[in-house]
Chain A
């Protein structure tokens, strides 16, 4: 089930913060099963997020990181991001949906909202939604 979970009282969302192609992203930490430095192994079985989304910016400094995303199936969805930042939490009420004009395009890329960890905007990405959109 493609769903983003807040904690027990429904008020907070626990997020992984990272960047790809010069863009700041956050993803529900509950979707990510493993986090490892990407050493280039099994390169043909991973997806680079910056390529997947068509991000145009530079990767910046830092080592690429491989996320193993829970899919419910036997096989993980393996996504490489340019740089891992930190874990953070945001109040669910602080999540801003995309404006209607943008939303349909953003959802097609697995993006579903904007949050402001550390005072800067970051795009919320749902990896499972991204994988599903890619399949279709």
Chain B
């Protein structure tokens, strides 16, 4: 019968040091992550920063108001408060068919606050900040003005919309 040598204290210490070092390395490479809300608008996929979307409202009646421009279909009432609604497809293009039947993302950025018509919410995910790239120059003009960047999700690249830029656009 063969006897095994007892583990030396130096071996234990070295092993522990290496484990600790690996753990540190893992912390070092852990990137900051950003929460994003993936939505579809006009049949296309887009993302919003999660901290700019206060809530998703179910399909509800939009009250038309005389004199509003095309990108403002009207108002919705949310727990007794009156919120504006933006039809972002006016800027992004895409299918305009279901203008009054989608969901509404309630967006807040600084002093700006408004509902935004969307078709659906696909997911809410945390993405590494490194996956957010500058917007491609191939984006069409109007959409490019609203985009903060593009998110590389591996299989697909999704434009990340900037509520601040949208606010600047609609309050001109």
Contact = CB atoms under 8 A, between A and B. Distances in A.
Interface string B112-139: 1110000000000000000000000000
A118 interface: no
Contact of A102 (B75, B80, B111): B75
Contact of B84 (A99, A109, A121): A99
B67 A114 contact: no
B63 A96 contact: no
A116 B81 CA distance: 11
A114 B82 contact: yes
Interface residues of B, number: 22
B4 interface: no
- Chain A contact-residue range equals 20 to 34
Contacts of B114: 99, 101
Contacts of B86: 101
A105 interface: yes
Interface string A94-120: 001111111001101101001010000
A114 B68 contact: no
A59 B80 CA distance: 27
Given A99-B82, A99-B114, A101-B114, A121 B77 contact: yes
B75 A121 contact: yes
A114 B75 contact: yes
A102 B68 CA distance: 7
A55 interface: yes
A123 interface: yes
A54 interface: yes
B72 A102 contact: yes
Contacts of A47: none
Given A101-B72, A114-B75, A96 B81 contact: yes
Q: Would you list the 4 A-B pairs with minimal beta carbon distance, nearest first?
A: A53-B66, A109-B67, A99-B84, A101-B84
Given A99-B75, A108-B67, 20 more contacts: A23-B64, A23-B66, A96-B80, A96-B81, A96-B82, A98-B82, A98-B84, A99-B84, A99-B113, A99-B114, A100-B171, A101-B84, A101-B171, A102-B65, A102-B68, A105-B67, A105-B72, A106-B67, A111-B66, A123-B66
